[in-house]
Structure 1
Amino acid sequence: MITASSNALYTDLSCYYDLMCADINYQDQSDYVHRLHQLFGNNGTKHLDLACGTGPHVRHFINKGYQSSGLDINQPMLDIAGLRCPEADFVLQDMCDFIVEQPVDLITCFLYSIHYSNGIERLRSCIASAHAALNKGGLFCFNAVEKTMISNSSVVSHTVDYDDSHFVFSSGWNYCGTGDKQSLRLSIEKSTVQEKQFWQDEHPMVAISFSELERLLSPYFEVYTFEHDYEKIIPLEVNAGNAIFACIKR
């Protein structure tokens, strides 16, 4: 058994990241945000993906005709992204304090990565950085989880068979019930004929309610919230645990 800590699942094991996300429909997510941009955005095509990882969303936006770029704090992930999207620019930056050389029209942050801000003040800085990086009427779009609706017992798992190995990937939120700190617990189990390996990690993340998040966003953006459904655009219902935020630069 091997146990990993810190951000090891995103550095030493970055080669497994795409397998870990094999059940994610990047096409549907990208199509959905493209529709939001058509409805609420400024019709521009310059796009930046925060916490871009290995670049699958960037690939889909490029295919739609966007001039896409990405940033992440993990260089091994960016190296993979560069191979996937050689026509895109990828930079090593912290999404909570980033700058762009030229303003963009659309900023995305998928897979609940906005929570990696890990603290209200860093989240506030991320929002300010996104606002500064957008052109007039630009759109900032991301998904988020409502802290009061988190169930610590809820775990999502999927399996993948790859290169003579069987993988089990699991993840789940953990929130103590008070304050602005929560965590994302992740694990990878890899089994071969010869051995079984196990990695686990816990990432600190910001915990926030949707009402608190809207208050942080409102000085910078006109904010719309939608159901976490990539099939159709539906206004957010009361007591929803997940939401998609579409924020138009004021």
Structure 2
Amino acid sequence: MPATVKSNDGNLYTDLADYYDQFCAEVDYAGQCAFAVRVFDAFAQSGGRDYLDLACGTGPHLQEMTRLGFVPTGLDNSAAMLAQAQVRCPQANLLLCDLAAFEQVYRFDLISCFLYSIHYSHPLNNFAETLRRAFCALKPGGVLVFNTVDANGARQQRKVVTQVQQADALLRFESGWYYRGQGEVLDLRLSITRESADNTQTWHDHHTMTATTLPQVRDLLLATGFEVTMLEHDYDRLAPWTGDSYNAIAVACKPTAAHQQLY
């Protein structure tokens, strides 16, 4: 009989940490990191190369940014993911905590949060708190870069499906957003199936993420004290966001004169 596992408390990432990289095989981590370096070169004025990846998962961004000359630190709320990240990038300093709970001050030159992971900070006050903590964690002149989605466009996003053939099993990963059309709840629904000759296992998971609009994200960053540039969601170039698309990349610079803590 097929086995079904329902996880609604983050255990899915514990159960499937060993498979996570296979599900994300089509993600261009190298391209995202190359883009982050272009942003850094264009905007940063902090003078160092200390790097923090928020929601680092198994560490592919850490590994690539180390290769590109940065000193890596990763943060995630999954110990199983961080264990994989430590193997992948042994020199990285790793932090086990939620996005809205890290407490570093004036430590980093560059902070990234890709794969829309900034939206895991829920509800909206936690989202804003994550931005405030990133502001404090940056050195003056440092840069925060992350991708973000407008909730109104999330309803138009297609479900993402990835299949990976292993020696003894077929893995199928499905994910999709659902937005009710109002409020600050953006649902991420996940379904993962591992099918072998002897057994079929299915994991269902649901994450409550924060629904925002892109102008709202920009306004939250400005209120935090950042200088903000919104770019098109295109990792091949630095193109200003025209306001017509529902996906964007936020580049938030901490002013060089920002020496006052927010706490």
- Normalized against structure 2, the TM-score is what? 0.92
Higher deviation after alignment, 150-159 or 71-80 = 150-159
Whether 1:45 and 2:58 are equivalent positions in the alignment is no
Within the candidate set 29, 33, 57, 2:32 is matched to 29
Q: CA RMSD in A?
A: 1.3
Within the candidate set 197, 203, 206, 2:207 is matched to 203
**For structure 2, which runs of at least 5 residues remain unmatched after alignment?**
256-263
Within the candidate set 145, 149, 155, 2:159 is matched to 155
Q: Which residue of the partner structure matches residue 72 of structure 1? A: 76
Contact 1:152 1:174 in 2 (8 A): no
Q: Which residue of the partner structure matches residue 193 of structure 2? A: 189
SS at match of 1:2: strand
Within the candidate set 204, 213, 218, 2:222 is matched to 218
Whether 1:93 and 2:97 are equivalent positions in the alignment is yes
* Aligned-partner residue type, residue 78 of structure 1: L
* Aligned-partner residue type, residue 9 of structure 1: L
Give a deviation string over 1:6-51, Cα, whole Å, max 9, x none.
2122112211211111110100000001100000012420000011
Q: How many residues align?
A: 250
SS at match of 2:100: coil
CA distance in 2, matches of 1:32, 1:244: 11
Contact 2:106 2:139 in 1 (8 A): no
Q: Which residue of the partner structure matches residue 170 of structure 1? A: 174
Higher deviation after alignment, 202-211 or 148-157 = 148-157
SS at match of 1:4: strand
Contact 2:105 2:136 in 1 (8 A): no
SS at match of 2:141: strand
SS at match of 1:168: strand
* Aligned-partner residue type, residue 164 of structure 2: V
Identity of aligned residues (%): 38
- Normalized against structure 1, the TM-score is what? 0.96
* Aligned-partner residue type, residue 243 of structure 2: V
Q: Which residue of the partner structure matches residue 16 of structure 1? A: 19
* Aligned-partner residue type, residue 164 of structure 1: D
Give a deviation string over 1:175-202, Cα, whole Å, max 9, x none.
1000111111111111111222111101
Shift of 1:156: 0.8
Shift of 1:231: 1.4
* Aligned-partner residue type, residue 252 of structure 2: C
Within the candidate set 47, 52, 63, 2:67 is matched to 63
Contact 2:23 2:173 in 1 (8 A): yes
CA distance in 1, matches of 2:236, 2:198: 43
Q: Which residue of the partner structure matches residue 183 of structure 2? A: 179
Shift of 1:237: 2.0
**For structure 1, which runs of at least 5 residues remain unmatched after alignment?**
none
Q: Which residue of the partner structure matches residue 117 of structure 2? A: 113
CA distance in 2, matches of 1:95, 1:15: 22
Shift of 1:238: 2.1
Q: Which residue of the partner structure matches residue 260 of structure 2? A: none
